[in-house]
């Protein structure tokens, strides 16, 4: 079953690459994403109470944490590929996109899904690294898909900064390998995560300290944690909306998943304080950066991008607390943020397509002119700011509670102040976008094709906020893996 | 190979990796910078080959061949193609001038020796003692990346960081498992291809390799 999860998007990429472009291929992408989601749910059902599943001669392994991430990837991918059909329609109609270019887009999106899935299903931490690095390569062309000067600039910064960051993560992985070899981890696979966790208390603390610091810096670059976040607002604002949704909604958290895996090993070798300190530092820095830069944003896509920096900071703080409650909340936040941010990026893509600008100033009174799209945007912002009934409310509350429990109350207090500033900033931008004064009569209906997945995403986010029952056992099992 | 020859050949190859990194700071012609990168690739393959012979590890010899092919031949060729798009382009005005850059490289080397004490303590072998050289090469790569302003020199900076990390990996653990090594090499190669395509597109958009012109996206 593990192999099948990877084969589906790869096969879809091959078909999209070979067959001449037609619109149905866009829907094939959605079908592939749905298949991944179904397989992810089946996987989750089989590992939630049972042992982990392995596949492909031990290269792949799925426990509750991996299965949860597969489900998250699947959910956001369904939304993004659905909207992708609309994006390509718009680009082809505007003459900016040739059929060959559309095929390239479809192939790369599927390859992007496959690399993320490989990252969360890898048993070996080296393979995890290879997969995360591959996501950078695949997404660079997607960021630059519109081939404008600004999108070219964004892709250049993106690949240069992320390649260097990920090189640091490789050095960290090598040091972990060195520490494992030193305690006689001669097994068939010294970089195997389960083996490393088993031996973690014997690993050399000096080397592990250096290694974990490098890993947080390296993978943190891909997570978009400050101070290595500078590529994020550029790349997320320039990429086509469905790609932004995937990058912001899941790619960031797939990189964070890597940090979580290493945190288990570091906690074993060094005790929890070291990882906690590292994560608190990068988490608070991210919140401060996001709060100060959100105040002056003029571009709604960049506003959403900085909002991702904030949420990654919150997740890092939650992981720093590290109790089972905190980790369960972190994972719920991963899903809730993915859904809300995915919906908002997709909605912003629709706004950009029809209004032709991403400046907040020039898109006023959305709610009056386009009630449906404006409503989706408004509810998305409400979800993202952590209001009930959306799940981000529950997860933020539980993360804060856990932080107070482990004596990180001061960090929680700082994060609350930052969240208040961000709340004010986003509300004022949002008020202009949604209410503002209508300067013309540019009224446009919203296509059902666009509205259905977006409303679906928001309803899903509210549903898991009100009743987490379908997820409860899975979250519990996954949290037990990170915080035993 | 006797112990003494092994130690001196390994030390020589590792030092060439660092010297080649410093040479990229010293030269202004983009052609010369790419040649220095190729030389670094050869030296890195040399390190892998010497370790492979010493440990009688055929897997590592295969890796050495791979490194030679990718980092000493294919990647420099790809970069030469970029340089040929605009052969008159030179690194005329780096943010830090050449003499100051060379002093900085010296300081970074000291830093590397200081920072890697925990690691060298764990690997008290001939190879282990050379680990700081790999870190130094990596730090020089960082320095090139933040102070050099041409697209080609930035790609070289990324590769210097990568080669420095690879050198540490060879010296510390005699190479990561073959599967990971293969995946990592493939990733680097693909990344360079992507960077090459982007650099050529940038050149046709901006009229030069100058990254100072990349200022449209800001807050």
Per residue in A163-209, pLDDT tens? 999 999 999 999 999 999 888 755 667 889 999 999 899 999 999 99
Q: Which of B142, B158, B201 sits opposite A163 (nearest CB)?
A: B158
- Measured between CA atoms, how close is B118 to chain A, in angstroms? 5
Q: What is the pLDDT of residue A392?
A: 93
User: Do the Cβ atoms of A170 and A129 come closer than 8 Å?
Assistant: yes
- Find the radius of gyration of the CA atoms of chain B: 18
User: Chunked in runs of 10, what are the mean pLDDT values of chain B (219 residues)?
Assistant: 86 95 93 95 95 91 93 94 85 86 94 88 88 95 91 93 94 83 88 91 83 77
Q: What is the mean pLDDT of residues A302-316?
A: 94
Gap from A171 CA to chain B (nearest CA, Å) = 6
State the pLDDT at residue A246. Answer: 96
CA distance A117 to A74: 9
DSSP state letters, A374-426 = HHHHHHHHHHHTT-TTSHHHHHHHHHHHHHHHTT-HHHHHHHHHHHHHHHHHH
Residues A52-78 have pLDDT tens digits of: 898 878 889 999 999 999 999 999 999
Contacts of B75 in chain A (CB under 8 A): none
pLDDT for res A190:
81
Report pLDDT for B53: 93
Q: Which helix (H) or strand (E) holds A448?
A: helix A448-466
The whole-angstrom separation of Cα A39 and Cα B58 is: 40
A153 chain-B contacts, CB cut-off 8 A: 214, 216-217
Q: Search chain B and give the residue with CA nearest A172.
A: B165
Probe site for chain A from B114, B165, B186, B202 (most A CB atoms < 10 A): B165
Residue A421 has pLDDT above 80, yes or no: yes
Q: How many CB pairs under 8 A join A and B?
A: 132
The whole-angstrom separation of Cα A461 and Cα A455 is 10
CA B204 to chain centroid, in Å, comes to 27
Q: What average pLDDT does the structure give for chain A?
A: 91
Q: In a mutagenesis test of the A interface, which of B115, B118, B124, B162 is the best target, namely the one with the most A β-carbons within 10 Å?
A: B118
B93 CA: distance to closest CA in chain A (Å) = 20
As a whole-number percent, the residues of chain A with pLDDT over 70 amount to 97
Name the residue with higher pLDDT: A34 or A443. Answer: A34
pLDDT over 70 (residue A441): no
Per-residue model confidence as pLDDT tens digits over A361-396: 888 778 888 888 889 999 999 999 988 889 999 999
Nearest to A106 by CA among A198, A13, A193: A13
Q: How far is A472 from chain B (nearest CA, A)?
A: 35
Q: By three-state DSSP, how is residue B150 classified?
A: strand
pLDDT > 80? residue A443 = no
Spatial CB neighbours of A407, under 8 Å, sequence gap ≥ 6: none
The answer, yes or no, to whether residue A477 has pLDDT greater than 90, is yes
Task: Say whether A152 and B195 touch across the interface (CB within 8 A).
Answer: no
- Altogether, the residues listed in chain A come to a count of 484
CA–CA min distance B216, chain A (Å)? 6
Helix (H) or strand (E) holding B133: helix B131-147
- Alpha-carbon distance of A192 to A59, in angstroms, equals 9
Tell me what pLDDT residue A6 has: 95
Is the previous residue joined to A64 through a cis bond, with omega within 30 degrees of 0? no
User: Above 80 in pLDDT, residue A442?
Assistant: no
Report whether pLDDT(A439) > 80: no
Helical pair A300-321 and A272-294, crossing angle rounded to 10 deg = 160
Nearest to A175 among B119, B138, B184 (CB): B119
Residues of B with CB under 8 A from a CB of A: 115, 118-119, 121-123, 138, 142, 145, 151, 154, 158, 161-162, 165, 168-169, 172-173, 176-177, 179-180, 183-184, 186-187, 190-191, 194-195, 198, 201-202, 205-206, 211, 214, 216-217, 219
CB contact under 8 A, A126 and B161: no
Indicate yes or no: CB of B180 within 8 angstroms of CB of A178: no
Whether the per-residue pLDDT at A88 is higher than 70: the answer is yes
Burial class (CB in 10 A: 0-12, 13-18, 19+), B84: exposed
- pLDDT score, position A50: 82
* pLDDT number for residue A149: 86
Inter-chain residue contact A124 with B184, CB threshold 8 Å: no
Of the pLDDT bands very low, low, confident and very high (cuts 50, 70, 90), residue A356 is: confident
Burial of A70 (0-12, 13-18, 19+ CB in 10 A): buried
> Residue A272: which of A281, A282, A264, A280 has the closest Cα?
A264
**Residue in B175, B151, B146, B160 with CA at minimum distance from that of residue B71:** B160
Confirm if A297 and B219 have CB atoms less than 8 A apart. Answer: yes
């Amino acid at each position: 079953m593990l192999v099948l999860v990877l084969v589906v998007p790869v096969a879809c990429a091959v078909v999209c690459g070979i067959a001449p472009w037609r619109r149905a291929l866009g829907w094939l992408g959605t079908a592939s994403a749905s298949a991944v989601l179904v397989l992810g749910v089946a996987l989750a059902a089989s590992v939630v109470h049972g042992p982990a599943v392995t596949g492909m001669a031990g290269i792949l392994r799925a426990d509750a944490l991996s299965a949860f991430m597969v489900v998250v990837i699947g959910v956001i991918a369904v939304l993004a590929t659905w909207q992708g059909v609309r994006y390509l329609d718009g680009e082809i109609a505007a003459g900016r996109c040739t059929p060959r270019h559309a095929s390239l887009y479809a192939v790369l999106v599927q390859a992007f899904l496959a690399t993320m899935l490989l990252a969360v299903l890898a048993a070996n931490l080296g393979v995890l690294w290879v997969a995360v690095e591959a996501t950078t390569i695949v997404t660079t062309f997607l960021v630059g898909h519109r081939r404008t000067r600004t999108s070219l600039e964004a892709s250049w910064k993106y690949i240069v900064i992320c390649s260097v960051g990920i090189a640091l993560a490789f050095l960290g992985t090598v040091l972990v390998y060195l520490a494992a070899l030193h305690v006689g981890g001669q097994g068939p696979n010294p970089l195997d995560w389960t083996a490393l966790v088993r031996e973690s208390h014997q690993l050399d603390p000096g080397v592990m300290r250096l290694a974990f610091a490098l890993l947080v810096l390296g993978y943190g670059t891909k997570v978009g944690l400050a101070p290595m976040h500078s590529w994020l607002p550029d790349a997320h604002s320039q990429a086509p909306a469905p790609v932004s949704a995937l990058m912001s909604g899941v790619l960031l958290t797939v990189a964070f998943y890597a940090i979580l895996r290493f945190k288990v090993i570091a906690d074993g070798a060094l005790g929890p304080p070291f990882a906690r300190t590292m994560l608190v530092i990068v988490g608070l820095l991210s919140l401060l950066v996001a709060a100060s830069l959100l105040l002056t944003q003029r571009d709604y896509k960049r506003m959403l991008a900085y909002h991702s920096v904030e949420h990654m900071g919150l997740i890092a703080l939650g992981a720093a607390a590290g109790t089972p409650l905190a980790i369960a909340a972190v994972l719920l936040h991963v899903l809730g943020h993915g859904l809300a941010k995915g919906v908002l990026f997709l909605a912003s893509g629709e706004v950009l397509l029809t209004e032709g600008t991403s400046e907040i100033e020039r898109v006023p009174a959305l709610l009056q002119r386009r009630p449906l799209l404006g409503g989706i945007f408004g509810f998305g912002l409400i979800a993202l700011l952590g209001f009930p009934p959306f799940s981000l409310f529950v997860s933020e509350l539980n993360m804060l509670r856990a932080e107070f429990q482990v004596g990180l109350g001061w960090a929680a207090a700082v994060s609350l102040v930052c969240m208040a500033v961000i709340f004010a900033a986003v509300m004022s931008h949002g008020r202009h976008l949604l209410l503002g004064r209508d300067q013309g009569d540019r009224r446009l209906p919203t296509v059902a094709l666009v509205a259905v997945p977006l409303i679906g995403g928001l309803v899903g986010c509210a549903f898991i906020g009100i009743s987490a029952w379908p997820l409860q056992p899975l979250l519990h099992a996954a949290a037990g893996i990170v915080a035993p | 190979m006797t112990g003494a020859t092994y130690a001196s050949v390994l030390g020589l190859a590792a030092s060439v990796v660092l010297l080649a990194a410093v040479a990229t700071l010293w030269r202004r012609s983009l052609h010369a910078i790419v040649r220095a990168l190729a030389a670094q690739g050869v030296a890195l393959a040399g390190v892998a080959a010497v370790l492979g012979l010493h440990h009688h590890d055929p897997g590592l010899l295969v890796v050495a061949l791979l490194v030679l092919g990718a980092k000493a031949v294919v990647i420099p060729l790809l970069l030469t193609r970029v340089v040929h798009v605009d052969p008159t382009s030179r690194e005329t005005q780096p943010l830090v001038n050449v003499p100051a850059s060379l002093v900085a490289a010296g300081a970074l080397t000291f830093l590397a020796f200081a920072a890697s004490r925990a690691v060298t303590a764990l690997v008290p072998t001939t190879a282990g003692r050379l680990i700081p050289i790999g870190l130094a090469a990596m730090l020089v790569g960082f320095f090139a990346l933040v102070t050099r302003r041409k697209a080609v020199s930035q790609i070289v900076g990324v590769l210097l960081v990568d080669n420095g990390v690879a050198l540490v990996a060879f010296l510390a653990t005699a190479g990561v498992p073959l599967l990971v090594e293969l995946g990592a090499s493939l990733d680097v190669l693909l990344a360079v291809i992507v960077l090459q395509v982007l650099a050529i597109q940038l050149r046709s958009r901006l009229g030069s390799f100058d990254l100072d012109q990349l200022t449209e996206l800001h807050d």
